[in-house]
Every structure is written in C-alpha cells, then in structure tokens.
Amino acid sequence: MTWLLLRHERRPTCTTRGCSKAVLAHAGVEWSGSDRQDIGEGHAITFYTFYTHHAGGLRAGLIDWHSKPDGSECKGSILFDTPENVDISDKAKWQVVSMDPLHLEPSLLCRTCGDHGWIRNGKWVKA
C-alpha cells in the first residue's frame, strides 16, 4: 500500500471507537459528510473511499450517523474486510456480503451510545 506523507512522527492508529480522519488520510482514504444515504430507523451512512492510485474509487468503509437517546447526533465508523484495508488497522473489519443492496456482517454496535443493529438489504435493522 502506498502511504501518504503527513506531518506525523509516527503512523496514526485506530482506537476502539474507530479510525480518525488522520488515520484514513494516512492510508489514502477520504470521506465527506455531505453525501449521507438514509438507511432507515434514524440511520444514515457515508462511505469512505480510497483515493490512492492503486485503489481509486473503491469503498473502504463507512460512517454510521445516528441519534443518541437524548436526541443528539452520534456516529461510528467501520472498515470493510478487503485486501486494500489490510495495512490500515489491526482493528475489526466488517464483511461486505453485498454492496448493492448493502449487507454487512456482523452487526454494528456503537460504543458511544450503545445503538446496535445490522445493515441488511440496504436498510438498518435494530438488534
């Protein structure tokens, strides 16, 4: 994998809450919060996309935007289990059963607010 040069002394890492923008940028991944796709039950997703020359345009993972019980916005991020993601992080990755309609395994559990469910047939299914 080709790493982009950033102003970091060491390679940034992912935490238990997901990968930061710095980690993703370091790996040649970008995202935009302006292209949220509604998947129902108060959830919307935004895809991470590789922009490096070897994997340009491939989806690397997603951000799940949802509401906390108090109504404030919350989000969690995951990476897909693909060969292009091998060097990004040693954290868990999700299997893409189908990209269209989107079906991921296993379930997604937000470690911030406890929201839990699956993305199956392009829709959010509560646990």
Residue 22, φ and ψ in degrees, nearest 5: -65, -45
Q: What are the tens digits of pLDDT across the range 54-88?
A: 555 678 889 999 999 999 999 998 989 988 777 77
What gap in Å lies between CA 54 and CA 94, rounded to an integer?
21
Amino acid 106: pLDDT: 96
pLDDT at residue 123 is higher than 80:
yes
Note the pTM of the prediction, 2 decimals.
0.72
Percent of the chain, pLDDT > 90?
Answer: 47
Q: What are the tens digits of pLDDT across the range 31-59?
A: 554 588 999 999 999 988 776 655 556 78
